[in-house]
């Protein structure tokens, strides 16, 4: 489908789903965003749903301004995936031991490594730039200075919520049954700490006093507040990327221990909560993707469904109407609280049948039924991406 304009906004808001299916809170957020004087335009992805500050599944192009709430607290959150040389026939019938080995190698939830992982000791991990990266920690907001030890120990850890590690099988095509490794994570606690500090600063700035929603407070180019935010933002985005790269390398190590001759393709990695400097209509803008991936022409990306429905590896078509973007997943159709009230552990077990994963009350809010239909979401963005591979998980690790 192509986009549908959302009426009643100053800047164009283009929607890649039926506008009448957008929840009222999210539609109100989108109109508030479209009313901001700095906004060039907004693209709304088919996984759109209400979020704190700005709508999840929104792409916002701003002139000389950026809203930290439109990035969110998990700065740099995104996906990584790598195709292996293994096939389904190589995997054991019982995958519980493989899941256990992954959980032993990569801390999940609130857990962290007992000691910071030395990148030099991780096979397959990029070795460049680590010294400069950590030296820049000292330049970050002074209020996070005491968090360096924790940030180092959390590098190479998953987190909780909707973050996950999966072993998947490719479905259909010449590579039917090929094993992929995939994960979803971001900048851990350090990104959250930086984001919340800057969001609080933005709310107090005089030019944000009359906004329809103070959570949409912005920083303006040329101000010390903007300079400080961009410094911390770029660092946190790099932290998130390096966090995923380390986990991919650790995950490959787990697989290599069990299959010594396994081979791995070049990993695919894509942020879906971040800011980038891009040009549209001859104008340089700051593009914020909150729950959206870049889908420039030829760009590879990953669009996950839920812990029971599979995911897609995609190639972008470079649609400028969407600011060269696509959805970051299926998107929630109900809140975590509503999911817990609606579904039971028996429902979770039924909806994740055939997947080696947690099936307890602690992850009921991540049940597939709490998410939109990923097949429908993909159908709504055929002018944004083409499918490279359809993956179905057989192991899912959750925090």
Judge whether 184 is annotated as a binding position: yes
Q: What are phi and psi of 143, to 5 degrees?
A: -75, -10
What ranges make up the beta strands (E) of the chain? 4-5, 13-15, 39-49, 56-62, 65-66, 78-87, 164-170, 178-185, 219-220, 268-271, 273-280, 283-290, 292-294, 300-304, 311-316, 325-327, 356-357, 385-398
Active site residue 49: no
For residues 44 and 26, the answer to whether their CB atoms sit within 8 Å is no
Is 384 within 8 Å of 43 (Cβ atoms)? no
Question: Is 162 marked as a binding-site residue?
Answer: yes
Instruction: Answer yes or no: is 187 a known binding residue.
Output: no
328 marked among binding-site residues: yes
Is 49 annotated in some ligand binding site?
A: no
On whether 344 is known to bind a ligand per the annotation, the reply is: no
Report whether 301 belongs to an annotated binding site. Answer: no
Is the sign of the CA dihedral 164, 165, 167, 168 positive or negative? positive
What residues have CB less than 8 Å from 184, skipping those under 6 apart?
77, 78, 79, 162, 163, 164, 165, 304
Residue 302 annotated as lining a ligand binding site:
no
**Residue 263 marked ligand-binding:** no
Asked whether residue 329 is marked as a ligand-binding residue, the answer is: yes
Q: Determine if residue 163 is labeled as part of a ligand binding site.
A: yes
Q: Which of 49, 198, 271, 328 is catalytic?
A: 328
Active site residues: 328
Please report, in range form, the residues annotated as the binding site for GMP: 162-166, 272-273, 304-307, 311, 328-331, 398
Please report, in range form, the residues annotated as the binding site: 74, 162-166, 184, 272-273, 304-307, 311, 328-331, 398
Please report, in range form, the residues annotated as the binding site for Mn(2+): 74, 163, 184, 272
């Amino acid at each position: 489908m192509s986009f549908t304009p959302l009426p009643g906004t100053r800047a164009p808001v283009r929607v890649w789903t039926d506008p009448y299916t957008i929840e009222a809170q999210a539609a109100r957020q989108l109109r508030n965003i479209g009313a901001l004087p700095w906004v060039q335009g907004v693209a709304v992805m088919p996984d759109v749903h209400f979020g704190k500050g700005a709508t999840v599944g929104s792409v916002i192009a701003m002139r000389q301004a950026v809203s930290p709430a439109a990035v969110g607290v998990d700065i740099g959150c995104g996906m990584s995936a790598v195709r292996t040389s293994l096939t389904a026939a190589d995997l054991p019938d019982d995958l519980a031991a493989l899941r256990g080995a992954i959980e032993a190698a990569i801390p999940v939830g609130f857990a962290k490594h007992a000691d910071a992982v030395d990148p030099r000791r991780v096979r397959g991990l990029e070795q460049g730039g680590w010294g400069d990266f950590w030296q820049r920690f000292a330049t970050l907001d002074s209020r996070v200075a005491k968090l360096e030890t924790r940030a180092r120990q959390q590098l190479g850890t998953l987190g909780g919520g909707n973050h996950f590690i999966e072993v998947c099988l490719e479905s259909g095509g010449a590579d039917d049954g090929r094993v992929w490794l995939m994960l979803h994570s971001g900048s851990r606690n350090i990104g959250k700490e930086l984001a919340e500090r800057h969001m609080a600063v933005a709310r107090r700035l005089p030019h944000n006093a009359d906004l329809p929603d103070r959570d949409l407070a912005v920083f303006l180019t040329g101000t010390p507040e903007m300079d400080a935010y961009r410094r911390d933002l770029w660092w946190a985005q790099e932290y998130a990327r390096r966090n995923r790269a380390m986990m991919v390398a650790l995950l490959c190590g787990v697989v290599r221990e069990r299959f010594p001759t396994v081979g791995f393709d070049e990993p695919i990695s894509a942020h879906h909560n971040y800011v980038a400097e891009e040009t549209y209509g001859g104008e340089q803008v700051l593009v914020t993707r909150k729950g959206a991936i870049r889908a420039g022409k030829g760009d590879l990306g990953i669009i996950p469904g839920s812990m029971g429905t599979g995911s897609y590896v995609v190639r972008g078509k470079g649609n400028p109407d969407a600011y060269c973007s696509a959805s970051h997943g299926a998107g929630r159709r109900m809140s975590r609280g509503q999911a817990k009230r609606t579904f039971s552990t028996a429902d979770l077990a039924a909806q994740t049948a055939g997947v080696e994963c947690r099936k307890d009350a602690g992850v009921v809010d991540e049940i597939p039924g709490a998410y939109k239909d990923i097949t429908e979401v993909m159908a709504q963005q055929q002018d944004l991406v083409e499918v490279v591979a359809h993956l179905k998980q057989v192991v899912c690790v959750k925090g």
